[in-house]
Structure 1
Amino acid sequence: MSNLHNDSVVIDGLIIAKWDRSIFEDMRRGGLSAANCTVSVWEGFQDTVNNIADMKKLIRENGELVSLVRTTQDILDSKKSNKTGIVLGFQNAHAFEDNLGYIEAYADMGVRVVQLCYNTQNLIGTGCYERDGGLSGFGREAIAEMNRVGIMVDLSHVGGNTSQEAILESKKPVCYSHCLPSGLKEHARNKSDEQLRFIADHGGFIGVTMFPPFLKRGIEATVDDYVEAIDYVINLVGEDCVGVGTDFTQGYDKGFFDWITHDKGRYRKLTSFGTILNPLGIRTIGEFPNLTAAMEKAGWKEARIRKVLGENWVRVFAEVWGA
């Protein structure tokens, strides 16, 4: 592990792995200071609370490797004590059901990031694979409540109209925690140059992913292609509002992808990704130091590397979560 990687605050803006000790060990191997860890996608309130309880138990049982993050100070403390901070996040507001009161309850449990929609329409708005009618009235109230209690609004899988309205509606910075630019590959999940500029111009944040179906070279991609994609976004919006959001799906099999890509209507299939193979050089979370090395190889200045690896995430989280 290079000195620069070792010294830097390293934050992954999105991991949806099969949570167990081996993942936490790999996070340590990769030198992660913190990660936004998905604990809800299609689950309702009760099952989501069960997932949170399971995750907290796992964190307690592996306290020498990880700790729960409620504040940005917790991230810095994790870094100091050589642990990885676990940020509880949702990839769908489905778990809010139709009850605004649940939002504060989740915040009290430690949830800090919630994506409004996952690919498809829910009570809040529309995902990126469906005709997009924009933000609902309930969605506007949900964003106001998320702003109030300090939960970050994530728009990665959200449709263009709903995203634009959410960006304008939110009083706090919102993010695409894990996205790629359409400029490198046309895909429903990727964001156009205009969309990337729009979120940045309104104080928002962009975490760049390396999920192979959305990368220019797909499963042929390497860690250098990932750096190229991050570079593309930085060239559009500047280096202060860009970070990393890998979308690691470590430990999962095909059954998980079948479940994750379903839609309304008794598991109607929404999309198919084909083979999932992460870029060569960063196939596992433990290989994270190779990302820093690839940034150095690409001629990035140290200040830019530190910002993109984690300092930018810390700043924007502080703006949303408060002191």
Structure 2
Amino acid sequence: MNATELHNDAIVIDGLICSKWERALFEDMAKGGLTAANCTLSFWDNFEETVRNIVEMNGLIEESSDLLLKVRTTEDIYKAKREGKTGIMMGFQNAHAFEDQVGYVQVFKDLGVGIVQMCYNTQNLVGTGCYERDGGLSGFGHEIVAEMNRVGMLCDLSHVGSNTSKEVIDASKQRVAYSHCLPTGLKEHPRNRTDEELKYIADKGGFVGVTMFTPFLAAGVNATIDDYVDALYYIYNIVGEDAIGIGTDFTQGHSHEFFEYLTHDKGYARRLTRFGEIVNPLGIRTVGEFPNITEALLRKGFTERQVRKIMGENWVDLLKDVWGA
């Protein structure tokens, strides 16, 4: 089976996209052969604002029902594959939307939210992000983790501080994930993870999605798809073939203002970081070029079976474990 045939036959999942939600993007998802994607609907939005974002996404899914299908279960992912559509998995990059109400976890699960990152870069009521001194998982945070476990919602640790991440891994009775990260072993960055952290989450049954966000790659804006696959291979050698997948962090269609929002605490307060130029690696500039990842993985020497796992099957297994059959 050649790369094109394999890509077309495989379950293809992007574990993190925070692009501009519009028809042009959905068409590009179809072009890229995406079976499903974890789509960010909340950063520092409060409960009410996040509900409005979900309402808006529900409308977009309805308007583009020829291309999209809302995902609540892993069976919905298989259904999207059968129907040639892209499954929209609703996710948050911050637990801020839960405010101080444990009961809101169930509310959002009922609305279709299946993946929530515990913190986004800085402190919230749950714990601490990766850009400040890490006080670990709070007492309230322990309650949130337990409730997310109960309702079947994946705990994401991508932008979470090291101490808080470890304490979530230890506290959770379900598998957890870094949905989109890169290794410190290839570039020192507050958003990247050490070999020890990567091994720890994998040893505890967790999962690592590998991002291609160029500020975190060694070659920066000069990176190519082969640099991305090299980073993926680096993590693969630490966590193994069953605990790894794709989490691009695509920000397609967004303006400069969006990145200013992301790089300031709460979206408006102190500056946390500067990304510089935002450009994805050559060969995977857009979601529509997703088949190039399959080709690059094969070129790197991964077997067809390993490519299927990395491109999506491992994500499905993880979500099946957390969400339930």
TM-score by length of 2: 0.98
1:188 pairs with 2:190: yes
Aligned to 1:97: 99
Aligned to 1:292: 294
Aligned partners of 1:27, 1:266: CA distance in 2, in Å? 31
1:177 pairs with 2:179: yes
Aligned partners of 1:266, 1:143: CA distance in 2, in Å? 28
Q: How does 1:221-236 map to 2 (within 5 A)?
A: 221-236=223-238
Helix, strand or coil for the counterpart of 2:69? strand
Helix, strand or coil for the counterpart of 2:193? coil
Aligned to 1:142: 144
Q: Give the conservation status (yes or no) of the 8 Å contact 2:117–2:158.
A: yes
Aligned to 1:38: 40
CA offset digits 1:182-217 (Å, max 9, x no partner): 001010000000000000000000000000000010
Aligned to 1:203: 205
- Counterpart residue identity of residue 30, structure 1: G
1:161 pairs with 2:163: yes
Aligned partners of 2:209, 2:97: CA distance in 1, in Å? 23
Structure 1 segments (4+ residues) deviating >6 Å: none
Aligned to 1:123: 125
Q: Give the conservation status (yes or no) of the 8 Å contact 2:116–2:155.
A: yes
1:258 pairs with 2:256: no
Aligned to 2:75: 73
Structure 2 portions without partners, runs of 5+: none
Aligned to 1:109: 111
Aligned to 2:6: 4
Aligned to 1:316: 318
Aligned partners of 2:45, 2:75: CA distance in 1, in Å? 30
Distance 1:78 1:266, change over 3 A: closer
Aligned partners of 2:26, 2:267: CA distance in 1, in Å? 36
How far the C-alpha of 1:116 sits from its partner, in A, is 0.3
- Counterpart residue identity of residue 47, structure 2: F
How far the C-alpha of 1:265 sits from its partner, in A, is 9.7
Q: Give the conservation status (yes or no) of the 8 Å contact 2:47–2:98.
A: yes
How far the C-alpha of 1:289 sits from its partner, in A, is 0.4
Aligned to 1:48: 50
Aligned partners of 1:264, 1:20: CA distance in 2, in Å? 24
Match of 1:280 among 279, 282, 286: 282
Aligned partners of 2:273, 2:299: CA distance in 1, in Å? 36
Structure 1 portions without partners, runs of 5+: none
Helix, strand or coil for the counterpart of 1:2? helix
- Counterpart residue identity of residue 96, structure 2: H
Distance 1:265 1:183, change over 3 A: closer
Helix, strand or coil for the counterpart of 1:268? coil
- Counterpart residue identity of residue 272, structure 1: R
TM-score by length of 1: 0.99
Aligned partners of 2:295, 2:272: CA distance in 1, in Å? 37
Question: Mean Cα displacement is larger for which, 255-264 or 203-212?
Answer: 255-264
Aligned to 1:306: 308
Helix, strand or coil for the counterpart of 1:86? strand
How far the C-alpha of 1:248 sits from its partner, in A, is 0.0
How far the C-alpha of 1:23 sits from its partner, in A, is 0.7
Distance 1:145 1:81, change over 3 A: same
Aligned partners of 1:159, 1:268: CA distance in 2, in Å? 18
Aligned partners of 2:196, 2:301: CA distance in 1, in Å? 27
How far the C-alpha of 1:299 sits from its partner, in A, is 1.6
How far the C-alpha of 1:51 sits from its partner, in A, is 0.2
- Counterpart residue identity of residue 82, structure 2: K
Aligned partners of 2:240, 2:297: CA distance in 1, in Å? 16
Corresponding pairs, count: 323
CA offset digits 1:23-56 (Å, max 9, x no partner): 1100000000000000000100000000000000
How far the C-alpha of 1:266 sits from its partner, in A, is 5.1
How far the C-alpha of 1:267 sits from its partner, in A, is 1.6
Helix, strand or coil for the counterpart of 1:164? helix
- Counterpart residue identity of residue 219, structure 1: V
Aligned partners of 1:264, 1:121: CA distance in 2, in Å? 10
Distance 1:149 1:253, change over 3 A: same
Helix, strand or coil for the counterpart of 2:14? strand
